[in-house]
Structure 1
Amino acid sequence: MNHVLIVDDDVDSATSLRELVAAESFTVALAHTLRDARRQIALQSPDLVLLDLQLPDGSGLDLFADPELVASSELVLITGHASLETSIEALRLGAADYLVKPIVLRQLQGVLSRFMKPAALKADVARMNAGLASNGHFGHLWGQAPPMLRVYEQISRVAGTAVTVFITGESGTGKEVVAQTVHDLSRRRKQPFLAVNCGAISPNLIESEIFGHEKGSFTGADRQHLGFFERANGGTLFLDEITEMPLELQVKLLRVLETGRFMRVGSTQSQEADVRVIAATNRLPEVAVSSGKLREDLLYRLNVFPIELPPLRERLSDVGLLAQHFLEAIIKQEGHTKRFTRAALDRLANYRWPGNVRELRNVVQRAYVMAAGEDISDEWLPRPQGAGTPLVGGAALPAPTADPVPATESVPVAALPSAAASAGQVGAPSADPATMVSLPVGTSMAQAERALIEATLRYHKFQKERTAAVLGISLKTLYNRLKEYAADSEDTPTSG
């Protein structure tokens, strides 16, 4: 039977908590001071410590002055409220979770149900690291380049805690896969993992989808509907494209993160939200805040533990490994073995992948289908960009000049895809001035993004699927951007 140590100077609160914990089939010891806590740990090492940080003879943090004292114990903080500071403190200490006073039974049961000894979590990380060394994958993620090793280290560090994770990276880099891996290494792994694309749900329905609604709360609500927060109870909720969430709903999400409670649409009764939130965006967070797409206070609340995913062009050494992984998955599905030629692998490794891992997967699928025999040659693979042409965000940029550009001049920012690219060589730059986007120095990132998107759309004769593929963004993201630009144009007053 697992043993719990409750460290709380409030005698009544500690006694009540002991009864609740004992009812869940744990043995329990109480301590009201640091001195008592050290003595209890010496008598019997606890599997789980419920720790109030404010004690008569010091801070509960003082227990960590001797790391060996609680090295084999899972730690849960007891706090007066779920604040951003509490989350950061829990992360710093490696705490599994925290309980908010007054402690309610359902909240406690959730924490106890997720109990897992630190050694078990370390064993899972060791298992994934073994897979990385032998096969080149870490959970659902593939790659051995240094930028990815850093991502794996971050996942290993944060997965066992309860803090919010904020994943950033270009479209197609695998943000949902990172979120899934965090969940699989967490104490919530046996509970649901739900992924929500905030940009794929109608603004009129997104609140109902996330928080649920009561019967009769609006026209068409003919029954009660459970939202994602309720369906993910005890597990993890992944909110992708968080910057596409309406601002008024961002306020309600912020409240859930701060209070741990939410209400269905049409209800007056609040409910506990026993869910870990992981959010993601393919926008630069600071640009999203400055352009009014993301509330600054929500960014601070989400960005407790940031993970930045590198674009594929910054880890080209992983392309061969990823391509082989995708090819093996197709072979398993289709039942016919094919293999890459050396020329094909060289071609893949020299392309810059503006659409990142998603584009690579699609290219491998297409090449498999088009290969007539068992060998996949470079015939159906994209051609690499011109040598010496640096890329930013998947768009080709001219080489820098020796002299600084005067602030009054227009600067050529990106070459649109050439006619050859339109025929199948995605991302190839063009030297034709007619296909260049030029912007004045001092243009904001948001304005530069709009200019590039609109120019690329015009170049491809308003074919949105083609435009999205060339820009390396999802079709839904393109639609969202165009909707924003249309709204901005309507709000801009015209002269005359």
Structure 2
Amino acid sequence: MARPTLLLKLDDDHLTTQIHALTALENFETTAIERQNNWVEILQERRPDVAIIEVSNFSYDEYQQLTENPLIDTIDLIIISSGAPNKHLDMLMNNGAIFHYRTPIDMTLLEDTLTDFFQFFRQQKEQGRRISSSDLDQFGMLIGSSTPMHQLYRTIRRVAKTDANVLIVGESGSGKELVAQTIHLASERKGQPFIAINCGAISPDLVDSELFGHEKGAFTGANRSHHGVFQQAEGGTLFLDEITEMPIEHQVKLLRVLETGEYRPVGSQATLFTNTRIVAATNRDPQEAIDEDFLREDLYFRLAHFPIHVPPLRDRGEDIVGLAKHFIAHRNANERLAKTILNSAIDKIAAHDWPGNVRELKHSIERAFILADDTIKDEHLIFDTPPLETGTRVEEQIPAGVPLEEIEKAAIINTLEDNQGNKTETAQDLGISVKTLYNKLDKYQDDE
């Protein structure tokens, strides 16, 4: 177990000798700082577990710096003074924020205090933090207290009251569908349906049917009539996820609906009119998607009356740890358990860059929760896909003489299963377009 950190700033040479002679110091990773340095700034920068600070005159500025920063609540801070009256030290004492020792110091008492600190630290490390509630702010379906999230809340609140089409742009796993649901819940349409469809997860042959519906007998296999998502979402909100994965030839039909409000189910002569708000989303940069023919420019302008960017998790600061605690608290409540998490595991979560965003964090926490008995430890947190075997490469796992088509087919089928059938994510993982993926899958089906 790593030792707790201790920061020392001592002015008196005799006192320095006495403290360095304490046996309890062996339990700490101790660092001394120069007397003339701004010790408050160093505390905020280094974030030690314990600090012993000797002051000759504790100023109002130092008091303000400490009390305005939540760091004071996480450090066991011992202030040593001559005992001269100081109202700012008294204010800190009254708030219960510090231990205040006056010279000459009873070294036995200081030894006992440091030993208590260490025992508490060790107990906390062994038992972990009990997580029973979430301390994050919430707006609709979204959770987070960081500045980027509060900016997002304000943006959603403004656009939700209008009927403007919205284009949500954000990385995979950042919570785009939750943003869309929150827009719906904050709108005047909240009492009507919210319908979501992943444009990359439907066959190109069925796009028209999924969007606009079809009549019985409209095509082979159409054994009954089907209401498309426009009709299902009538009066409410239609969320078109991964809009850039819709085949470009179908985007013009969607554009016509947005321009005229009219659509016709497949196989029907009747024209229907829609009263549906459109919220679309993509994990691609819209301009790049237009340049690479994944998105029609005219459709983009129709969808992006009000573009919204969802911040990636790595830009959300302390929300990362806050969300981890939220997911643990949620599982504890659902399963009537009281699992805890080690501080070192929390540090590991905070240090990860989360390329998979909130989805990756949630999956990692849920997996760790299952693996842990009573306490989630560092080894329960698995962020990256494990290697095939230590010291091996992919090419060393494939037997010689296997036809390339079989290797390609296995890679596609296995990746599709790993992504639970999501064709958009599968295509991204394989480095191919969604259209290419559909063509491959159609070929495999024809070969059977």
Q: Same fold (TM over 0.5)?
A: yes
Shift of 1:344: 1.3
Aligned to 1:379: 379
Aligned to 2:254: 253
Q: CA separation of 1:223/1:468 partners in 2, compared to 1, >3 Å: closer, same or farther?
A: closer
> Is there any run of 5+ residues in structure 2 with no aligned partner, and where?
1-133, 395-406, 441-448
Any residues of structure 2 matched to 1:87-98 within 5 Å, and which?
none
SS of residue in 2 equivalent to 1:233: coil
One-letter code of the match for 1:231? Q
Query: RMSD between aligned alpha carbons?
Result: 3.3
Greater RCO structure (CA 8 Å; 6+ sep): 2
Is the 8 Å Cα contact of residues 136 and 145 (structure 2) preserved in structure 1?
Answer: no
Aligned to 1:124: none
Aligned to 1:201: 202
One-letter code of the match for 2:425? S
Deviation sequence 1:52-84 (CA, Å, 0-9, x none): xxxxxxxxxxxxxxxxxxxxxxxxxxxxxxxxx
Q: CA separation of 1:199/1:355 partners in 2, compared to 1, >3 Å: closer, same or farther?
A: same
Deviation sequence 1:359-381 (CA, Å, 0-9, x none): 000000011011122x2111122
Shift of 1:421: 5.2
One-letter code of the match for 1:241? E
> Is there any run of 5+ residues in structure 1 with no aligned partner, and where?
1-132, 384-416, 425-433, 436-456, 490-496
Is the 8 Å Cα contact of residues 212 and 230 (structure 2) preserved in structure 1?
Answer: yes
Aligned to 1:474: 425
Any residues of structure 2 matched to 1:434-449 within 5 Å, and which?
none
Any residues of structure 2 matched to 1:65-464 within 5 Å, and which?
135-373=136-374, 375-382=375-382, 422=387, 464=415
Q: Identity, % of aligned pairs?
A: 46
Is the 8 Å Cα contact of residues 200 and 476 (structure 1) preserved in structure 2?
Answer: no
Distance in 1 between residues matched to 2:308 and 2:236, nearest whole Å: 20
Q: CA separation of 1:349/1:337 partners in 2, compared to 1, >3 Å: closer, same or farther?
A: same
Distance in 1 between residues matched to 2:377 and 2:162, nearest whole Å: 46
Shift of 1:298: 0.3
Distance in 1 between residues matched to 2:169 and 2:159, nearest whole Å: 16
Distance in 2 between residues matched to 1:487 and 1:461, nearest whole Å: 14
| TM, length-normalised to structure 2 | 0.59
Is the 8 Å Cα contact of residues 169 and 309 (structure 1) preserved in structure 2?
Answer: yes
Shift of 1:248: 2.0
Shift of 1:329: 2.0
Shift of 1:289: 0.9
Shift of 1:479: 6.3
Q: CA separation of 1:423/1:478 partners in 2, compared to 1, >3 Å: closer, same or farther?
A: closer
Is the 8 Å Cα contact of residues 468 and 478 (structure 1) preserved in structure 2?
Answer: no
Is the 8 Å Cα contact of residues 247 and 435 (structure 2) preserved in structure 1?
Answer: no
Distance in 2 between residues matched to 1:485 and 1:219, nearest whole Å: 24
Shift of 1:339: 1.8
Distance in 2 between residues matched to 1:165 and 1:365, nearest whole Å: 32
SS of residue in 2 equivalent to 1:257: helix
SS of residue in 2 equivalent to 1:316: coil
Shift of 1:333: 2.7
Q: CA separation of 1:185/1:216 partners in 2, compared to 1, >3 Å: closer, same or farther?
A: same
Distance in 1 between residues matched to 2:368 and 2:416, nearest whole Å: 20
Q: CA separation of 1:136/1:324 partners in 2, compared to 1, >3 Å: closer, same or farther?
A: same
Q: CA separation of 1:480/1:211 partners in 2, compared to 1, >3 Å: closer, same or farther?
A: farther
Distance in 2 between residues matched to 1:273 and 1:461, nearest whole Å: 42
Deviation sequence 1:431-470 (CA, Å, 0-9, x none): xxx99xxxxxxxxxxxxxxxxxxxxx99x9876379979x
One-letter code of the match for 2:376? I
Larger deviation, residues 174-183 vs 480-489? 480-489
Shift of 1:148: 1.3
Distance in 2 between residues matched to 1:284 and 1:461, nearest whole Å: 27
Is the 8 Å Cα contact of residues 351 and 382 (structure 1) preserved in structure 2?
Answer: no
Is the 8 Å Cα contact of residues 215 and 267 (structure 2) preserved in structure 1?
Answer: yes
One-letter code of the match for 2:218? S
Aligned to 1:82: none
Deviation sequence 1:297-354 (CA, Å, 0-9, x none): 0011111100001111111320111111111222233222212221111111110001
Q: How many pairs align?
A: 290
Is the 8 Å Cα contact of residues 135 and 322 (structure 2) preserved in structure 1?
Answer: no
Shift of 1:481: 3.2
